[in-house]
Structure 1
Amino acid sequence: MPAFNTLDDLSADSRVLARLDLNSPIEDGTPQDNRRFERHAETVRELAEAGHRVVLLAHQGRPGRDDFTSLGGHAEILADRVGRDVGFVADTYGDEALEAIDALDAGEILLLENTRMCDDELPEASPEEKAETEFVRTLAPLFDAYVNDAYSAAHRKHASLVGFPLVLPAYAGRVMETEYEANTAIATREFDGPVTMVVGGTKATDVIGVMDALDDRVDRFLLGGVAGELFLRAAGHPVGRDVGERDLFDEQWERNRELIESVLDERGDAIRLASDLAYEGPDGERAEVPVDDIGEKETGYLDVGATTVADYEPAIRESDAVFVKGALGVFEDERFADGTVGVLDAIAETDCFSVVGGGDTSRAIEMYGLSEADFSHVSIAGGAYIRALTGEPLPAVETLEAAAERRRD
């Protein structure tokens, strides 16, 4: 059980400041609806229906980037998901925000402006320092409780995430609660049968960190993606080199070569590598080639092949638990989704405990018509999911736990 308090512990008729993670793709200046709005709507709806006055904090992008924008559009999407009006004010802790907060009635919801538009928000600093910022000191006195529902940002030491729990009674929202329990299950739960991890994506460092940290918890790793190619290269196959303008392999290979080779040497019996790879053929269609037939690196590979998926499926079907970190190919392109979707299909059809995470990977479920109900948990977290798997601390979770401990004392 988590060591933090949840909404079940929240006193009735409270003024609640809740932190969400609504960070979304921006197209033509407009935020795109996604799984995060749907998930956070559960927490927001529960708070509003219980009669609390609900004020929301969230971020979008970073200063200087194209996706750094106001949250006005986010309020509209969230309102549709919650089924209630969500007010918005283009201010975070100035007079306009304070007046709007003061005017709230029971059951009403207000979203404040992008927290990253505040100078106090972004620099990483200790919770104690963040609690002393003008941002926290101005808003905190207006509220009875703070709710953190932003598990996917829990690895950050930003003011809205770690400052408020030091000065207000603090609780975990439903997203924070369910993400924490599912993503720590690999370290905290005992499974009767084999535990399998499907590992892909583009960041070899993440993959190596996960494999190293879970050495004694995972029976086998099924590899794909860029990371899988780098392991194939370490095994002596001429793959995993950049072709043309691609810049995915060579730099990571130079930084991680010795570690990849040592992991492969020490844990080779637990590591399954792709036996074939897919690429774009001369006619633009998907083509596949056995790894053993690749004589030199002449093209970029974009997915694992059909034989690899067939090789991986039995390992998945006989597992008691399967965790997914990263995609096995460029699934956004339908031609190269077979590996990722094939493995997800096998997991969905297997009666096992399953967690799909790694940020973008979970999007494949929606894109290709799979049902979330067929998985134990589909995570909306990226960096926080990796940290949970590798056992690294999550500052926002730690501050919630510390707040609960103070209340018990």
Structure 2
Amino acid sequence: MAAFRTLDDLDAGQRVLCRLDLNSPVEDGAVQDNRRFDRHAETVSELHAADHRVALLAHQGRPGRDTFVGLEQHAEILSEHAGVDVTYVPDTYGEEALAAIRETEPGDVLLLENTRMVDAELPEESPETKADTEFVRTLAAEVDAYVNDAYSAAHRSHASLVGFPRVLPSYAGRVMATEYEANTAIAAREFDGEVTMVVGGTKATDVIEVMEALGDRVDTFLLGGVAGELFLRAAGYPVGEDVDAELFDEQWAANGDTVERVLEEYGDAVRLADDLAYADADGDRAEIGVEEIDTKETDFLDVGGSTVAEYQSRIHRSEAVFVKGALGVFEDERFADGTVGVLEAIAETDCFSVVGGGDTSRAIELYGLDEADFSHVSIAGGAYIRALTGQELVGVAELERSAESDGD
């Protein structure tokens, strides 16, 4: 377990600045509800119940993108999930924000404006530099403590994530603590039985990093998605090439030699798809065995039924299963068999399980699976990959540094 303090260590009745990650899809200007609100609601409601005066920080989108909007809608959605009135303040650290913070009563919860509307927020700079920004110095002077609950952004050295722990007593929120413990379990826990990892998605570099970092901890890697097809190419099959979608050739040029080396090094632990699925002339799902492919003439959008059955069998006899990335284009029901099939197998198996990486966890909700059937469903993407591969998360490191320095 990380050596940071949590809400259990935070005295009641303080002025608290709390960083969440409420970054969400935006469709036609409407912010979409998602599991991040539900997860962070636990921390918010707990801070409210302990009579803290709470000012929340969060980001949405990036400047110049359609998703770069204010947080008024986020306050409404979070209020519903937390069962607490969350007051939106259209200012981050100016006079309006400072006045609102000073006027809070015990149990009040504010949501300040999008941190990425602050110039000092985004540049990746050292925690020392961020701590010395006007943004951090101004807000820190108004509160007693800082809580970081934004695990999914903990790999970013942004002001609201790494500056405040340098100048305030700092604590991990419930999402931060839970995500960290679950996502580092593959390196920190001992498992007596088989450890299996389902690895897919669109980025070969992610798969390579995971396999190289965890090769001595994982018994079997089950591959799919774009990355899995690139590994099939490395194994000599005529796939993993661009047809309509430009997903393969550029990655192969950059990583082909490394994919071949990793496949050779970890070959005994790697299971590749026996068959692949595609859309036939009528738009229906069709499948073909990889041994039957002479040349790639269409895009392959999922692993095939034989592969799904084999992967499910391996999962059923595993003690621990970790998922990073989808095995197909699961958003299209025709090509969800691989991703949903392994998730269903995990749900049926009495094993320790962590599902994360990009949008993979969204398939659980999309296809009506019960989140309670998994040990942990991560809301993190980049931070999940970094945790799996043993890379430092600067936001976590700053919480640990704060706990250590305050204990001196």
TM-score (norm. length: structure 1): 0.99
Measured in 2, the distance between the counterparts of 1:189 and 1:230 equals: 31
Q: Give me the whole-angstrom Cα distance separating, in 2, the residues matched to 1:281 and 1:315.
A: 30
Q: Secondary structure at the match of 2:55?
A: strand
Aligned to 1:55: 55
- Is structure 2 residue 307 aligned with structure 1 residue 305? no
Q: Return the offset for 1:408.
A: 1.4
Q: Does 1:218 align with 2:218?
A: yes
Q: What is residue 344 of structure 2 aligned with on the other side?
A: 345
SS in 2 for 1:295: coil
Question: Counterpart in 2 of 1:252?
Answer: 251
Shift of 1:266: 1.1
How far, CA to CA, are the matches of 1:112 and 1:334 in structure 2?
A: 39
SS in structure 2 opposite 1:360? coil
Q: Which residue of 1 aligns with 2:319?
A: 320
Over the aligned positions, Cα root-mean-square deviation in angstroms equals 0.6
List per-residue Cα deviations over 1:231-289 (Å, max 9, x = no partner): 00111111111112x11111101100000000111111100000000111111111111
Partner of 2:388: 389
Residues of 2 paired with 1:119 and 1:58: CA distance? Answer: 15
Contact 1:359 1:379 in 2 (8 A): no
Q: Aligned residue for 1:126? A: 126
C-alpha distance after superposition, 1:131-175 (max 9, x if no partner): 000000000011111000000000000000000001000000000
Q: Which amino acid aligns with 1:34?
A: N
How does 1:96-107 map onto structure 2 within 5 Å? 96-107=96-107
- Alpha-carbon distance between aligned partners in 1 of 2:358 and 2:231, rounded to the nearest angstrom: 22
The whole-number CA distance in structure 2 between the counterparts of 1:344 and 1:83 is 31
Structure 1 equivalent of residue 165 of structure 2: 165
- 2 CA distance for matches of 1:91 and 1:276? 54
Q: Are residue 42 (structure 1) and residue 42 (structure 2) matched?
A: yes
Provide the secondary structure at the position in 1 that maps to 2:162.
Answer: helix
State the 1:102 CA deviation.
1.0
User: Which residue of the partner structure matches residue 184 of structure 1?
Assistant: 184
Q: How does 1:6-405 map to 2 (within 5 A)?
A: 6-244=6-244, 246-405=245-404
The aligned amino acid for 1:320 is: E
**Hey, what's the Cα distance between the residues in 1 that align with 2:108 and 2:279?**
53
For residues 272-312 of structure 1, give each alpha carbon's deviation from its aligned partner in whole angstroms, at most 9, with x where no partner exists: 00000011111111111111111101000000011001111
Q: Secondary structure at the match of 2:16?
A: strand
Counterpart of 1:247 in 2: which secondary structure? coil
What secondary structure sits across from 1:60 in the alignment?
Answer: coil
Supply the distance in 2 between the matched residues of 1:267 and 1:170 (Cα, whole angstroms): 41
1:42 Cα deviation from its structure 2 partner: 0.4
For residues 7 and 209 of structure 2, the distance between their equivalents in structure 1, rounded to whole angstroms, comes to: 33
Aligned to 1:182, what secondary structure does the other structure show? helix
Give unmatched runs, 5+ long, in structure 1.
Answer: none
Report SS of the residue matched to 2:33. coil
Q: 2:297, 2:12 → 1: CA distance?
A: 65
Q: Is the 8 A contact 1:33 1:77 kept in 2?
A: yes
Q: Distance in 1 between matches of 2:274 and 2:66?
A: 40
Tell me how far apart the structure 2 counterparts of residues 88 and 359 of structure 1 sit (CA, whole Å): 28
How many residue pairs end up in the alignment? 408
Tell me, in whole angstroms, the C-alpha distance in 2 between the residues paired with 1:284 and 1:141. 61
Separation in structure 1 between the aligned mates of residue 242 and residue 114 of structure 2, nearest angstrom: 38
Distance in 2, matches of 1:306 and 1:266, equals 27
How far residue 89 of structure 1 moved from its aligned partner, in angstroms, is 1.0
Cα distance between partner residues in 1 of 2:271 and 2:17: 47
**CA distance in 2 between partners of 1:278 and 1:219 (Å):** 26
Q: Give the match's secondary structure for 1:196.
A: strand
1:120 maps to a residue whose letter is A
Partners of 1:131 and 1:164 within 8 A in 2: yes
| Structure 1 segments of 4+ aligned residues over 2 angstroms from their partners | none
Structure 2: tracts of 5 or more residues without a match = none
Letter in 1 for 2:310: D
SS at match of 2:360: helix
Partner Cα distance (1:267, 1:2) in 2: 30
The one-letter code matched in structure 1 to 2:188 is T
Quick one: which amino acid aligns to residue 62 of structure 2?
R
Residue type of the partner of 1:312?
Answer: Y
Q: Quick one: distance in 2 between partners of 1:375 and 1:70? A: 34
- Displacement, 1:359? 2.4
